[in-house]
Amino acid sequence: MQAETVHVDKLSEHVGEEVVLKGWLYNSRSSGKVQFLIFRDGTGLCQAVLEKTDDKVNLFNEVKHLGQESSLCVQGIVRQDERSVGGYELAVTDVQIVHKTEGYPITLKHHGPDFLMKHRHLHLRSQRQWAIARVRHTVVEAIRKYLNENDYILVDTPIFSPAAGEDKQSLFNVDYFGEEVALAQTGQLHVEAGCLSLGKVYCFGPTFRAEKSKTRRHLTEFWMVEPEVAYLDMEGLVELAEEFTCAIVEHTLKHRRAELELLGRDLSDLKKVQRPFYQLRYSEVIDLLHSQKIKDHLEAKLEVRRKQLAELEKNIEEWTAQQESVKKQWQKEKLAQQILEARDEAGDLREQIENIPYHMELAAAFEWGKDLGGSDETIISELHDKPVCVTHYPKEVKAFYMRLDRDDPRVVENLDVLASQGYGEIIGGSMREEDFDILLNRIKEFGLDPAAYEWYLDLRRYGSVPHGGFGLGVERTVAWITGIKHIRETIAYPRMMGKLYP
RNA sequence: UCCCCGAUAGCUCAAUUGGUAGAGCGAGCGGCUGUUAACCGCUAGGUUCGAGGUUCGAGCCCUCGUCGGGGAGCCA
């Protein structure tokens, strides 16, 4: 292999040249005297075409039996061809087999989530997962870029955590030289100390929550970025959350358009993510939940879902009937696949249809003082075509450190950002209580031991200032931006209840 | 912790309401010079999640358990 090694995503710069690609066999098709090797190298897919000419009979026969995911180096001449994935292909002159793979478990056909999660270490090689990983990388890049360019200083906060940030039930306990400590579920308390040193700071790391949640929005280990700013006020906090969210979406849209399109994301939704977001105070949310508008919305949604279900059921019937008459094998298979997907979707719809009346009741019966439920958040975000900032919750349902609103001490100056399209909460944050006496009182009200928070109280003893910040969940943000249904696909190795392998 | 659904070939699913366990993909072999999850032919592949029960007979019905999916609560 004498030619220069290049990557698939740079093939357009090498048309007419002989080059080497190093990677893996994604799929292959053979047609007697020509083989199509669908090849991947981490930067993209490329079709390599190998013809059975007299000088390449041995090579042809050797490559013919290569299994999916065999590793190989392919040498050939780059040419433009519309029929090929990516628009370029390689006319093969030589192949070096690095490793022959037999019986690769993940085929290009449909697999169930359990099987794929057990093979997560291999699943990462699939196209969709590849695209999601690249979007995630860019979301994280956007986060760091925004903060760094705006003069935030990174402060790494501890993962072994002596005191709870929030409530103790959702903590993972660890034996720390005989002492029971917890894995951090937020870096916020510690980052506040950094904030009073450096002004504008952030922490960014893994976060652990032992909540026994089995839903498409939850992980037990996830990544969170938490900016914290001194001399900030509530208005500034909202502005920061909005700017931050917009910067992430904009950067990702700019650099990962191809991946988002591959994932089937409707980009027009993302283009709408512009300041200002919708602003709702908690009390306004209650009015909204009790309003005729919500009732109408849910009734309309119910009607739409019923129609969609009827339509799907009709399609399933038609496709099932067609299966009998269709002769070609691949057509049968395609129909079978369509039917499976439609059934899945129909199941989803039935569940929604069943739940909507319940959600209507929940919304109508919502009383001041309760925390917003998942269904309430979904309804609110569905009613808006861009993210919604919900603020000023009752102090009882929020953490002890959140700053009491001086105009209405029943509520705190907090902020949740709900992503659009029903993706739920991606940001949660607040102004922090800067008054020593109020904070101490709040710690006691929550039944916490003030001794454990002595160092935190010091921050109010010595040079206390108004300050605030928030946490943004990386996985939920990636799920929203990519438009994928389940958060478990947004991280390479999802940790969920009962899931620890691989 | 609670509610709903599920477990059949390596994978994805069937099995006409309790009567001899099948198909496609994948694997192996062969055919085909432009395939797009290619196609065509042949071959191999099963303790129907586990334990118990009902029955002449259980993949199917009942009880318990294990694992998985979705949701409630809680949350990023």
CATH code for the domain in which residue A84 is found: 2.40.50.140
Percent of chain A at pLDDT > 70 equals 96
The spacing between the Cα labelled CA in A105 and the C1' in B25, in angstroms, equals: 12
Q: Which nucleotide's C1' is closest to A102 (Cα)?
A: B27
- Whether residues A251 and A264 share a domain: the answer is yes
How many Å apart are CA A199 and CA A228, to the nearest integer?
Answer: 8
ipTM: 0.90
Span CA (A189) to C1' (B47), Å: 57
In angstroms, the CA of A64 and the C1' of B30 are apart by 13
**Closest CA relative to residue A132, chosen from A304, A294, A281, A258:** A258
Q: Could you report the per-residue pLDDT of A111-141, keeping only the tens digit for each?
A: 888 899 999 999 999 999 999 999 999 999 9
The pLDDT, as a whole number, for residue A163 is 56
> Dihedral (C-alpha) A450, A451, A454, A457: value to the nearest 10 degrees?
10
Confidence of residue A203 (pLDDT cuts 50, 70, 90): very high
Query: What is the predicted pLDDT for the residue at A54?
Result: 86
Please indicate, yes or no, if residue A104 is contained in any of the structural domains: no
* Judgement on whether residues A174 and A76 belong to the same structural domain of the protein: no
**What pLDDT, on the 0 to 100 scale, is given for residue A434?**
96
- Note the strand B nucleotides within 7 A of protein beta carbons: 1-2, 10-13, 24-29, 31-41, 67-76
> Which residue, A202, A83, A261, A199, is CA-closest to A466?
A199
Q: Are residues A476 and A424 in contact, defined by beta-carbon separation less than 8 angstroms? A: yes
- Residue at A211: amino acid letter: E
Secondary structure of A399-431 in HEC code, one letter for each residue: CCCECECCCCCCEECEEEEEECCCCEEEEEEEE
A78: left (phi over 0), alpha (psi -120 to 50) or beta: beta
Q: What mean pLDDT comes out for the span A357-381?
A: 86
Owning domain of residue A448: 116-290+366-490
Q: Which of A36-50, A221-235, A331-345, A465-479 has the lowest mean pLDDT?
A: A331-345
The pLDDT, as a whole number, for residue A318 is: 77
Buried b vs exposed e over A255-291: b needs ≥16 C-beta within 10 Å? Answer: ebeebbebbebeeebbeebeeebbebbbbebbebbee
Q: Lowest mean pLDDT: which of A62-76, A169-183, A339-353?
A: A339-353
User: What pLDDT is stored for residue A206 in this prediction?
Assistant: 95
Residue A497 maps to a domain: no
Percent of chain A with pLDDT over 90: 58
Average pLDDT over residues A429-452: 93
Amino acid making up residue A131: A
A163 and A19 share a domain? no
**Domain match, A332 and A186 both:** no
> Which nt is closest to the CA of A27, judged by C1'?
B37
Query: CA nearest A135: which of A484, A427, A493?
Result: A484
Any idea which of A195-199, A331-335, A411-415 has the lowest mean pLDDT? A331-335
Are A283 and A307 within one domain?
Answer: no
Does the CA dihedral A394-A395-A397-A403 come out positive or negative? positive
For residue A266, which phi and psi values (nearest 5 degrees)? -80, 110
CA of A340 to C1' of B45 (A): 25
Lowest-pLDDT range, A160-164, A181-185, A462-466?
A: A160-164
Say what the pLDDT of residue A364 is: 85
> Total structural domains in chain A?
3
CB A468 within 8 A of CB A431: yes
Query: Is the same domain home to A66 and A168?
Result: no
Query: What pLDDT score was predicted for residue A47?
Result: 93
DSSP state, A375?
H
Full-model pTM: 0.93
Higher model confidence: residue A71 or residue A354? Answer: A71
Domain shared by A438 and A311, yes or no = no
CB A158 within 8 A of CB A208: no
pLDDT band at A165 (very low <50, low <70, confident <90, very high): very low
- Encode A17-55: b = buried (16+ Cβ within 10 Å), e = exposed: ebbbbbbbbbebeeeeeebbbbbbbebbbbbbbbebeee
Torsion of CA A236, A239, A244, A249, to 10 degrees: 180
Q: From the CA of A48, how many Å to the C1' of B31?
A: 22
